[in-house]
Amino acid sequence: MNVKKFFELAKEKGLSDCQIQISKSKSTDIGIFRKEIDSYTISDSQSIKACGIYNGKFASCTTNRLDKNAFEFLINGIIDAATVSEKEESVDLFEGSEKYHKKNVFNPALAEFPIEKKIELLFQIEKDILASDPRVSEVETVSYRETESSSAFYSSKGLKLSQKRNLFTLVAGAVGKQGEETKTAYNFFYGNDFSKVDEKKFVKELIDELLPQFGGTQCKAAKYPTVLRYDIFSSFVGYFIASASADEVQRHTSFLGDKLHQKVASKKITISERPLDKNPFFTYFDDEGVATYNKDIVKGGVLETFLYNRETAKKDGVSTTGNGYWAGSKIGTDTGFIKVKQGKKSFEEMIAPIKEGVYITDIAGLGTGMNSTTGNFSCQASGYMIRDGKVAEPLNLITLSGNLLKMFADVKDIDKQDAIQSSINCPDVFIKKMSIGGK
């Protein structure tokens, strides 16, 4: 698209400054079920997000209808939104950071790797899951999704930035039956280097997740020393970090609001945002065109910084932290790749001192069970008892309840688990005590 025309039209209609972000995305999804390709989905889509300043007010508009009227639609949308806006102050558009740390994280080899080989692997995974144990009754899904996305950013201040990435996700789900009991388990693998898929390991992890669940019961409702597996802990870290958003803090609705430079977690907890790490989550500029950088958010249990976009930074008289990302129709706050610093112990060493405790390996319903303003939460969970320092019998249909601040303060130990399973990379953690609901 000719973005010059957008800027010309914007100027003609009275916008003092504006920016435009054009995103393109292509994807292929393949799902197999009972030895056949069950679903095949391909997509090719584009969208434009635009914002600008009209009569001193900042506003935005978005579309994916990229026809000849798109620019007019966007600019009129900005004007209409700015006209009714009652925000007391608006920020100027950004002129650009001094330095950007651009890296090429796009792996052309991913798309070049033959699709037939990828499909072959899916069938092999399905076959190996079914053959692994007679209790595996069905392979719910084996699916592969590959996406290629690019984003180009232009502003009337002359800033031009772009990035391109690709990523694949491999997902498998198995159903197991033993007597009247039905259990499910899933495994995921992310990346942009297909050669890193270890099929045998992937299947083994799935089966190891599925089979030990049989015979699960409820424990007695009580407070127990609790170990959260890395993937479960990462969900809680996501909510914790979201509360460091300056936007929530300035509106007095964050439980971290009055805690800058204070202890908000156990000294074992260090949480960093690392958007410049070379992995599929790499991003070197935010949606305001600000250069991102690696930083500690919580260091040794102390809250080091809030997360700012340009507007919230202006309010607090500080610099933006490069965390301005689109949230619906406005620039909100978000983070890139997050890493929680590992400990030195193995999982076995970490749980060795626990006489009677609970090890949580699955949760459900946290999205609706979390009050992100207060940090109070309650959700469905399953896992295992820990007895005399070892993982023991399975637990099913229990609840896990707590408060994020208390939970992070009560982290007694962390292990050295280091698997990039999502954009939040965590070790396993041992929490002194948490409320477990059951019998």
Partner 1 sequence: MISKSLALKVLNAALETGGDYAEIYVEDTKTNAVSLENGKVETSSRNESYGAGIRILNGFRSAYGYTSDLSEKSLLALAKSLAASYQGERKITVKSLTKQRVKVLNKIDQPLASVPTTEKIEVLKEAYSIIHESDPRIVRVITGFSDYHTDIEIFNAEGEEGKQFNNFQERGRMTMLAFASDGEKMETYFSGPARFAGWGYFKNELDWRKEAKTVAEKVIMMLGADECPSGRFPVVITNGWGGVLFHEACGHPLEASATAKGLSCFSGCIGQQIASPLVSAYDDGTIPNEWGSNNLDDEGVPTKKNMLIKDGICVGFMVDRLNGRRLGMEPNGTARRQSFHYEPTSRMSNTYIAAGKDDPEQIIKDTKLGVYVTNFGGGSVNPATGEFNFSASEAYIIRDGKVCEPVRGCTLIGTGKDVLMNIDRVGKDLALGQGMCGAASGYIPVDVGQPTIRLKEITVGGRGGELK
Q: How far is the CB of 158 from partner 1 (least distance, A)?
A: 26
Shortest distance, CB of residue 247 to partner 1, whole angstroms?
10
User: Quick one: 43 or 55, whose CB is closer to partner 1?
Assistant: 43
* Residue 411 Cβ vs partner 1, minimum distance, rounded to whole Å: 18
Using the structure block, give the residue that is written with the tokens 């958003």.
245
Strand partners, 352: none
**Cβ distance to partner 1 smaller for residue 39 or 262:** 39
Query: Closest CB to partner 1 among 96 and 369?
Result: 369
Q: How far is the CB of 368 from partner 1 (least distance, A)?
A: 4
Q: Please identify, using beta-carbon distances, which residue of 24 and 299 lies nearer to partner 1.
A: 24
User: CB 434 → partner 1: shortest distance, Å?
Assistant: 9
* Length in residues, the chain: 439
Helices and strands, counts by H and E, the chain: 11, 20
- 105 vs 434, which CB is nearer to partner 1? 434
CA dist list (Å): 363 to 157, 212, 355, 429: 47, 16, 23, 15
Residue number, 318 or 364, with CB nearest to partner 1 = 364
**Rounded-to-integer distance, Cα 140 and Cα 353, Å:** 38
Q: Which CB sits closer to partner 1, 370 or 386?
A: 370
Min dist CB 131 to partner 1, Å, is 19
Query: Smallest distance, Å, CB 38 to partner 1?
Result: 6
Q: Where are the alpha helices (DSSP H) in 211-287?
A: 230-242, 246-250
Q: What is the smallest separation between the CB atom of 85 and partner 1, expressed in angstroms?
A: 5
Binding site for partner 1 (CB under 8 A): 33, 36-47, 59-66, 73, 77, 80-81, 84-88, 138, 140, 175, 182-184, 218, 221, 251-253, 255, 328-330, 364-365, 367-369, 371, 373-374, 376-380, 396-403, 435, 437-439
Task: Tell the smallest beta-carbon distance from residue 167 to partner 1 (Å).
Answer: 17
Output 337 or 377, the one with its CB closest to partner 1. Answer: 377
Nearer to partner 1 among residue 25 and residue 294 (C-beta): 25
Could you tell me if 219 and 384 are in contact, meaning their C-beta atoms sit under 8 angstroms apart? no
